[in-house]
Amino acid sequence: MQLFGTAGIRGITNRDITPELALKIAQAYGSVFSGDIAVARDTRYGAEMIERAVVSGLQSTGNRVHLLGILPLPIFARFVADFMDGGIIVTGSHTPPQIMGIVPVDELGRDIYWDKAREIEKIYNNGKEKTATWDRIEDTVFEDAVEHYMKFIERKAKNLSGFKIAVDPANGSGAGIIDRILENLGMDVYCIHCDRRHVPARPSEPRKETLQELRKISPNFDIGIGTDIDADRVLFASQGEIFSEDTIGAIFAKFFAKERMVTPINSSSLIEYVAKRSGFEVIYCPVGPPEIAEHILRYKASYGYEETGKYIFPPKTLWGDSILSTINLLKIIDSQGKSLKELASEFPRYYQIKDKIAVEREKKRKIVDKIGEFLERNMPPGAKNIVRVDGVKIIYEDSWLLIRASGTEDVIRIFSDAPSLEKAKKLVDYGKNLVKNFI
């Protein structure tokens, strides 16, 4: 039984993600990773229930559990990377409130790669987990990971006091933490959706359409930041505009990418524009945090990002971190003496449209495979190439269309990228019709 998707194990709370499953997953994880293991959770209904099962599973395999409580993923990962032998965070991240996730990380704080995931699945399936003797069952240790992260970020954020920042943490794990960290750095912070709730007041995924309240107030601030529930994803607003994830990714690439950088195959062609002018190589990888982190390590890349709003700054950080991304963007704004809008205006405009169609979990990959086989036999007019890596990507002279099965939701995603909005719309409509014809 395969359990892991592109970002841990996900499903509906108390139907797919149950205490029984969480217990067995934690026992399997605790049979692969041993020592000091951190556990944290997000704010949604059922997270505490699943967290308790995870803790019990880890204790039963003889591991010492360090309980971090409700915590943004980047602060959890930072604590693991600096002090722990591994960790599990219970979070649905950007997904709807009914979705729960169990996300194991390794000693580097990154999502476990597929070799470890398959090892955990094997133990889960055959029931051959470790069992500690009665005198090797450790008590939990309670830790303050926020205090440690504050010290980490203070070293990164010298001379940034005085900025005016609007924060929208989606009533999630970052509420009361992100704003406090920025205030401690001497910034003037205004927070919306800043009380923690089981169900956020806005959709949990940060997108242009979900951050309209932030966009409207952004003219009163240097920048606005909008995160998902566990605050690994972030979008930025300024002067009444929400900037695309790829535009922000390109700004970071210009200043942080050296010889090589990593990004998934669904990133905008804009990154190639920056690479040609800045002289670095773009390494493309399949979609998902495990692949990005693995490729960064494999190719010794100096920077990575994905179009969901995750920006990664190696070698110490191998995960998306909304707080560190905010600090690094403010450093660029400060050093260049330009607004975010001025920085973004230096790049050509590429239009990306992102759509999705609901498909049953058991069928989504088969449908994408059939579409790939069909397109290889029937090359669309004007297409230069068909790439079948993590889905089906049709490459044109100045644009592309990507159709892939989501690893986190029961949907097939359709992405297009083109130099005009009209062309991007035509491509995504073509992709949606393809999917509908094969359902």
Residue 386 main-chain phi, psi, to 5 deg = -120, 120
410 C-beta neighbours (distance < 10 Å), count: 18
The string of DSSP letters for 168-217 reads E-TTSTTTTTHHHHHHHTT-EEEESS-S--SS-SS-SS--GGG-HHHHHH
Does an H or E element contain 263, and which?
strand 260-264
Phi-psi region of 259 (alpha: psi -120 to 50; beta: other; left: phi over 0): alpha
Alpha-carbon distance of 416 to 430, in angstroms, equals: 10
- Identity of residue 288: G
Burial of 147 (0-12, 13-18, 19+ CB in 10 A): exposed
What's the token pair of residue 206?
């940060």
- Which residues are CB-contacts of 251 (< 8 A; sequence separation ≥ 6)? 329, 332, 343, 344, 347
14 C-beta neighbours (distance < 10 Å), count: 14
Q: Which residue of the set 93, 302, 322, 399 is catalytic?
A: 93
- Angle (CA) 263 332 194, round 5°: 80
Contact 173, 71 (CB under 8 A): yes
Q: Is 93 a catalytic residue?
A: yes
Handedness of CA 327, 193, 189, 219 (dihedral sign): positive
- Identity of residue 227: T
- Which residues are CB-contacts of 206 (< 8 A; sequence separation ≥ 6)? 94, 168, 170, 226, 227, 228, 233, 234, 235, 309
Cross-strand bridge partners of residue 234: 227
Buried b / exposed e over 299-335, threshold 16 CB at 10 Å, is bebbbbbbbbbbbbbbeebbbbbbbbbbbbbbbbbee
- Residues involved in catalysis: 93
